[in-house]
Structure 1
Amino acid sequence: MSEALDPAIPAPAARATDTKTFWRLIPIILVSLIVNQLDKVNVAFAKLQMAPDIGLSNTAYGLGAGIFFIGYCLFEVPSNMILHRVGARVWITRILISWGVLSACTMFVTGPGSFYVLRFLLGVAEAGFAPGVMLYVSQWFPARTRGRIIAIFMTALPISGVVGSPLSAWLMTSAPDAMALRGWQWMFLCEGLPAVLCGLLFWLLVPNTIDDAAWLTSAEKAALKEEVGASAHHAGSFANGLSDPRVWLLCLLYFSFVAALYGVSFWLPTLIRTLGYSGIREIGAMTAVPYAAAVVTMLVLAWSSDRTGERRKHLAVAALLGAAGLVLSVLSRANPTWSFIALVVAMAGIVTTIPLFWNLPTAFLKGATAATGFALITSIGNLSGFVAPFLVGMVADATGNTAVAMYALAGVAVFGAILTVLIPGALVESRRSSSFEVAR
């Protein structure tokens, strides 16, 4: 594992520290991220049963799916500022437990109004989690290993699809209608409680700082703090993260990629059903395939990007791959097999843009600046998580299909690719051994 983290660093002591830190921190964080993503998008599967049960139109579903991001965005920056002050152990534990409880409570929605309220509150509870994890990782792993660590984290998104899609389908079709609960209600309950468990484990297993790491010797702590601190080019303040024009540029870039991601992922089971596949378990198995392809694509392009130190072209290629897949999925709808293959290609490219994107802001945001910078990027970017699913629903109700919406999402991904290659290389690339240092 130490060689996988950084084969270019020969010092045995550094590799040993990398390995110990990795195995103590990454598994629980990775599992929490998987549960996080599952609880965020399992509503896409619930829709198949829930929509007729509580009277949700496509537009109402899209609004409810997306309104999560309104609460998320409003509380993202304050949440990350609190995390920076009180520490990750306390605040991420709070986030995990509160969102797990609220996710489970989605089982009680009875109509569009209660659906909107629960989704909004879920976004409020979860706000700060993803950027908080990014901030925490930047305080533990030096620049030379951080690219691959983030790539490993980001596999949580497709892994949640690979595991969660069949699981959600199984729960919805296998859970008995006991205690007057339907399959989709059991699904929300069973998939919400693991977040609470992750919160308890986070409190028990994850230290706040390097000084609190009982598994490191004094010498290892000193060496790790020195190496991590050496990459903190711009510790700055909270205000720096909000005023840096580079951050606002990346907000726009992230907005485009997240729009494509959630515009498709919140509708993927429905898209597959429109191809003529009707069984919930069948749809669950098929939904896992695009996410499995995304895992492979993500790791390959992340490895290539770290090996070469090139960031922008890799990101643009992933975005264009996703756009091409979306267009082809519409053009080939007369042939369900080819349309499904195109959806697989689309998801592989779109999902991969997210970890590749995070190589850019982590190159120059550190300390308090990172706390607000990461939060601002995810806040603005995730606004598209509200806009895109809602617009897809409106288009589906207005036209009877999602073709126009898929073309629009493809256009957004192409816009992101063009903007990526226009960003000055000195801002985001380094061809030295450190994947996250800003090029001179």
Structure 2
Amino acid sequence: MEESVYSKVSWRLIPFLFLCYVVSYLDRVNVGFAKLQMLSDLKFSDTVYGLGAGIFFIGYFLFEVPSNIILSKVGARVWIARIMATWGVISSAMMFVTDAQMFYVLRFLLGISEAGFFPGIILYLTYWYPARRRARIIALFMTGIAFAGVIGSPLSGWIMQTMAGVNGWAGWQWLFLLEGAPSVLVGIWVLTYLDDGIRQAKWLTESEKLLLEENIHADATDKKELTLGQVFTNGRVWLLAIIYFAFIMGLYGVGFWLPQLIKNTGVKDLVNVGLLTSIPYGVAAVVMVLMGRHSDTTGERRWHTAVMGIMGAVGLVFSAVYGDNTVVAMAALTVATAGILSTLPLFWTLPTAYLTGTAAAAGIAVINSIGNLAGFVSPFLVGAIKDATHSTAGGMYLIAGSLLLGTFLVLGAIPKQLNR
């Protein structure tokens, strides 16, 4: 009976949360595609672009913890709907950017509006699934990143190429408008679809609710219950935040620069750039699910995470060394993307196995907000290095080093007993 109940829960929640994450990630990184036209239209340097792309995460950092605590108080349904509608409006408003200052302001506001979405969903999943089931579930949810790349990359390339000049707007302006609107619509849908927890789910029978609640209660008995103040001074929370920072360096190194890296190999047509960009994300989606399932089956977390981190680093190095060879660079970028994206759902089994209650709400937010500062550091440094050296190779080596640091910390500092 238990398997059928969790299957019912997963079919109800995961496809919808997956959709929410797809539109979230698309709005966050479509600036990577807009860059291919935006920089020449607005006379931006790569440093200006990198700073604007990354400043999103300053607003994200400042409002992440308060947002997640509010979600735990008012419920996921209302708060996630608010988050999605707000960022959709601001993302669409990016079409009106005319100078660097406006670019920075809107990206900062976009970070504020989206703060709390991802850690809120991770927290929300702990309301439904015990730790032993969480790697595969988080992996399924986080394949939204990969799927956003699979459908978003060709779509972004097509919008920018075919809509350029329509109504007097540039292709990148249409990109922001057309990819921002779905977030508002899905945000409204959240209000009618999501339940705040097991007890509110009218689509479950009473016996099904009791089974789920018993598993969550049993799962919580061996976790750490920290006060809000203790969360901010807990060494393990900070360690996890540093590890996540190292891995997020890789995520946004790929997310913001993959179209440019592919273009640098000699591919000029934007539609072809979009189609090729979808390949690494498609492979990554499969690897994420397989690794999450295998980790849950074996109960091992640390080595699964570490192997994927090494895979990401090696792929980035080879993509830089063979950056002028489309076939080899694409193979290396595919390996890198699959490795980097697979570290993330595996990583999130570690803090959710350790924290519960208020500590989970605040701890997940602290880890995510600090880790996502890498979303500011990564594109800014790659952009600055590219302006200084006229090559993205140095930036890829830097990100590969960050991935190896995260891998070393997972193996050297995370206790083996956190394997579940």
TM-score grouping bracket, smaller chain normalisation: over 0.9
Match of 2:101 in 1: 113
Task: Give the Cα–Cα distance (whole angstroms) in 2 for the partners of residues 124 and 134 of structure 1.
Answer: 18
Find the residue that maps to 1:266 and give its secondary structure. helix
The AA in structure 2 aligned to 1:307 is T
> Structure 1 counterpart of 2:212, which letter?
L
Task: State the partner residue of 1:420.
Answer: 410
Q: Which amino acid in structure 1 is aligned with residue 320 of structure 2?
A: V
Question: Per the alignment, do residues 179 and 130 of structure 1 end up closer, same or farther by CA in structure 2, a change over 3 Å counting?
Answer: same
Alignment of 1:105-144 (within 5 A): 105-144=93-132
How far apart in 2 are the matches of 1:140 and 1:335? 47
Q: Which amino acid aligns with 1:289?
A: I
Match of 1:210 in 2: 198
Runs ≥4 in structure 1, deviation > 6 angstroms? none
1:51 correspondence with 2:51: no
Residue 76 in structure 1 maps to residue 45 in structure 2: no
Q: Distance in 2 between matches of 1:300 and 1:220?
A: 28
Give yes or no for contact 2:299–2:419 (8 Å, CA) kept in 1.
yes
- Pair 1:353–1:424, CA change in 2 (3 A): closer
2:308 is aligned with 1:321: no
- Partners in 2 of 1:309 and 1:22 — Cα distance? 20
What TM-score does the superposition give when structure 1 sets the normalisation length?
A: 0.93
Q: Is the 8 A contact 2:22 2:147 kept in 1?
A: yes
Q: Give me the whole-angstrom Cα distance separating, in 1, the residues matched to 2:334 and 2:13.
A: 32
CA shift digits 1:102-136 (9 cap, x unpaired) = 11111110111111010000000000000000111
Structure 1 runs not aligned, ≥5 long? 1-11, 431-440
Q: Helix, strand or coil for the counterpart of 2:349?
A: coil
Q: CA deviation at 1:143?
A: 2.9
Q: Are residues 1:165 and 2:148 paired?
A: no
- Cα distance in structure 1, aligned partners of 2:225 and 2:74: 18
Aligned: 1:379 with 2:369: yes
Q: 1:220 to 1:300 in 2, by over 3 A?
A: closer
SS of match in other structure, 1:267 = helix
Asked whether 1:186 is paired with 2:188, we answer: no
Q: Aligned partners of 2:43, 2:324: CA distance in 1, in Å? A: 30
Q: Which one of the candidate residues 251, 259, 265 is aligned to 2:249?
A: 259
2:292 is matched with which residue? 302
Report what 2:214 is aligned to.
226
Shift of 1:185: 0.8
Deviations for 1:172-222, whole angstroms, at most 9, x for unmatched residues? 112252332111111111110111111111100111122211111222222
Aligned residue type for 1:87: G
Do residues 369 (structure 1) and 371 (structure 2) align? no
Q: Which amino acid aligns with 2:246?
A: S
Q: Name the aligned partner's letter for residue 295 of structure 1.
A: A
Q: What SS does structure 2 have at the residue aligned with 1:216?
A: coil
Separation in 2, partners of 1:157, 1:60 = 25
Give 1:54 shift: 1.2
Equivalent residue for 2:19, pick from 21, 31, 36:
31
Whether contact under 8 Å (1:176, 1:182) holds in the other structure is: yes
The farther-off stretch of 419-428 and 350-359 is: 419-428
Unmatched 5+ stretches in structure 2: none
Structure 2 CA distance for aligned equivalents of residues 334 and 104 of structure 1: 35
Native 8 Å contact 1:237 1:367 kept in 2? no
CA contact 2:266–2:324 (8 Å) conserved in 1: no
Identity %: 50
TM-score (norm 2): 0.97
Q: Residue 351 of structure 1: CA displacement?
A: 1.3
* Aligned with residue 404 of structure 1, among 363, 388, 394: 394
Say how many residue pairs are matched: 418
> Over the residues paired in the alignment, what is the CA RMSD in angstroms?
1.3
The 2-side partners of 1:76 and 1:183 are apart by 32
Q: Does residue 289 of structure 1 match 2:286? A: no
What residue in structure 1 maps to residue 321 of structure 2?
A: 331
Secondary structure of the structure 2 residue equivalent to 1:110 = coil
